[in-house]
Structure 1
Amino acid sequence: MDNNFTMQEKTLNYNYTVDPNSDTAAANVLRFVGKQKKVLEIGAGPGSILRVLQDINQCNITAIEIHPDYIEELKQFCSSVISADLNNPQWYKIFSEEQKFDVVVAADVLEHLYDPLRCLQNIKNLLNDSGYIVISLPHAGHAVISGCLWNGDFQYSESGLLDKNHIRFFGIKNIQKLIEDADLKIIDASFVVRSPDQTELADLWLSLPHGLKKELLSNPFACVYQVVLHVVPETYTGSPIKLTEIPVPSAQIIPFGIFNQTYVLTGLFRKVVRQVLSQNQKKKLQSYLRTWGVHV
């Protein structure tokens, strides 16, 4: 990322707590990485996932980050931190020919890059003979995004599906094509499911006509919030899988037309949070609640 883009990104708070036993994207990343691996995490940010990979998964981590403040934070607990711009097509050449990794992690990173395909192609050069890539991506085909488009109100926000620093957007088929275009294949995947009322755009969703909401939710991937992938070079043995053929876990959706206590309490809670807490307090609370799938 160039410096101007990164400085804007730093206004967001990418610190969050990772519960390894949850159904979040971060927890799925941990499971796909495995234990005691030599790992490269690109775009590591402040190290929310990296800390758990070291402490619980007992992995040896090298981190790539560009923002100086994040780099200093990472150096406090990660022995190998490298400053590099992932938008530079030659970024991978910071490593010698002998430096290879068991796993490269790109957790919620590719959507921030100008050329995510080129980045994936570069990553392949850093894998050892049995190495693989673990990727998480937000799903732009979520029903709540479709609702935003229908409403003519594409609400960029501080985090979530419409994080204001996202410059690339992926539907299920786009994700599949991105991987295949990079001469990679998906051998395992996990969908993080959130109903629209569980997202950061719940208020907009509640304002949509009931018939429209029912139609938008008829898409089998309507409640897929994030996609986590276990990816290998296409030359590896084993058959690839198609994302469109994977069953989607069901999401708990509040019945249409019922403005019940859950909605009322959620609305009141948001109002209190927004009016009473300071910006820093809100960020800390949001970070904690996101680990439980709650967005405020």
Structure 2
Amino acid sequence: MDRTKTYFRQQAATAAALDGNHSLKRILNLVGRDRHVLDAGCATGYLANLLQQQGCEVTGIELNPDAACEAESYCNHVHVADLDITPLSELLAAQRFDAIICGDVLEHLRQPAQFLNAARQHLASGGRVIASLPNVAHGAVRLMLWQGAFNYTPYGILDNTHLRFFTRATAIALFEETGYEIASLETTQLPILAYSDLLPDFDREAIPAGGLAQLQQDPDAETVQFIICATPLDSESHCQHLQTQLQTTRAELAQTRKDLAALQASRWWQWRDRLRRFLGKA
């Protein structure tokens, strides 16, 4: 898989030119002014350019060497590296940042949890990780799947270089399981039937009766991206979170065992055993 593909060209020269439904607009608002920022997966530097206009100092990391060269115009420094291979500590030493941005990046990584664990060590006091993640449960994807297809696209939710796919629940879980607390979760939206490079195509004439209305009852059916702002839990809080997860898992296991015991004691299960023994003798 070519992970150094030609990137989408962002045309907005200023934050004011961005639509309010754009993930970059949300990210810029979450970062604020005069911050020390790490742009992980900075591409050609289009976000770094906008951050610079807000008085931010930006360090970039980029896989594509050609894109990294362009990004150098807007970043204090750009590291050319594969985030799945090169440890952040090797690139950044003891550097710490007010914000670490993963704009449409985590879905391209084989081990996004590994990156988030490492990122925690490079956050300044009060720092946060800000990420945009595509929503694979958008209604357009679901209708395409209903029609028996799963077609990748050059960009968007089913970008052909995506390695990971997220729903609201799994996006939240990724951060919570790596020791973060979700400070805010925003979304960008596109209607299910919209024609957009961000959405997969499907046969709009073959939607099942009532299917669209049923999909639209899901609050995330038109969600294209989740924009997550997360802050690291302290060690004690992280430990408490893990203990809560363990208790929940144990309770679920106990209930499963109870349900299994009830099933095995049922008349149906007894007849099943008799039938199996009979068939075994036949």
TM-score tier (shorter):
0.7 to 0.9
How has the CA–CA distance of structure 1 residues 71 and 202 changed in structure 2, closer, same or farther, with 3 Å as cutoff?
A: closer
Partner of 2:145, secondary structure, is: helix
Q: Any idea what the Cα deviations from partners look like across 1:114-159, whole Å, max 9, x if unmatched?
A: 0111111111011011111111101111111111110111121111
Instruction: Give the AA of the match of 2:9.
Output: N
Contact 1:134 1:231 in 2 (8 A): yes
Query: Which residue among 117, 126, 129 is the counterpart of 1:133?
Result: 129
2:214 aligns to what?
Answer: 215
Q: Does 1:63 align with 2:57?
A: no
Matches of 2:8 and 2:88 in 1, distance apart?
A: 23
- Helix, strand or coil: the match of 1:141? coil
For residues 2-57 of structure 1, the C-alpha deviation after alignment (integer angstroms, 9 at most, x for no partner) is: xx6423xx1x43221343452211110111111110000001111121111112x1
1:101/1:128 contact within 8 Å kept: yes
User: Is this contact kept in 2: 1:37–1:59, CA < 8 A?
Assistant: yes
Three-state SS of the structure 1 residue aligned to 2:144 is: helix
Amino acid at match of 1:109: V
1:284 match: none
- 1:89 CA displacement: 5.8
- Map 1:90-169 to 2 at 5 A: 90-97=87-94, 99-169=95-165
Q: Does the aligned pair in 1 maintain the 2:58–2:74 contact within 8 Å?
A: no
What does residue range 1-296 of structure 1 map to in structure 2 within 5 Å? 5-7=2-4, 10=5, 12-18=6-12, 19-20=17-18, 22-55=20-53, 57-88=54-85, 90-97=87-94, 99-198=95-194, 199-200=196-197, 201=199, 203-204=201-202, 206-207=204-205, 208-235=207-234
Measure, in 2, the Cα distance between the counterparts of 1:235 and 1:133.
Answer: 15
Q: In the aligned structure 1, how far is the partner of 2:11 from the partner of 2:233?
A: 34
Does the CA contact (< 8 Å) of 2:187 and 2:225 recur in 1? yes
Q: Distance in 2 between matches of 1:184 and 1:118?
A: 13
The aligned amino acid for 1:182 is T
Calculate the TM-score normalised by the size of structure 1.
0.73
Compute the displacement of 1:206 (Å).
2.0
Contact 1:112/1:168 (CA < 8 Å) preserved in 2? yes
CA contact (8 A) 1:35 1:59 kept: yes
Superposed CA offset, 1:72-107 (max 9, x none): 11123323111121002623322222x111110000
User: Mind listing any 5+ residue stretches in structure 1 that lack a counterpart?
Assistant: 239-296
Higher relative contact order (CA 8 A, sep 6+): 1
- In structure 2, the CA distance between the partners of 1:225 and 1:237, relative to structure 1 (3 Å rule), is farther
Code of the aligned partner of 2:8: Y
The aligned length equals 230
**Aligned CA distance change for structure 1 residues 51 and 221 (closer, same or farther; 3 Å):** same
- Look up the SS of the partner of 2:202 in the other structure: helix
Maintained 8 Å contact 1:114/1:168: yes
CA distance in 2 between counterparts of 1:236 and 1:194 reads: 39
String of CA shifts for 1:181-228, please: whole Å, max 9, x gaps: 111011112111111122444752623234222222221211111110
Give the counterpart letter for 2:42 in structure 1. Answer: A
Structure 2: give runs of 5+ residues left out of the alignment. Answer: 238-282
Residue aligning to 1:286:
none
Distance 1:104 1:163 in 2: 23
Q: Which amino acid aligns with 2:191?
A: S
Tell me, what secondary structure is at the counterpart of 2:30? helix
Query: Contact 2:46 / 2:71 at 8 angstroms: preserved in 1?
Result: no
- 2:252 corresponds to: none
For residue 65 of structure 1, what is the amino acid of its counterpart? E
Q: In the superposition, relative to structure 1, how do residues 216 and 17 fare at CA in structure 2: closer, same or farther (>3 Å)? A: same
Over the matched positions of the two proteins, sequence identity in percent amounts to: 27
Give me the whole-angstrom Cα distance separating, in 1, the residues matched to 2:191 and 2:72.
37
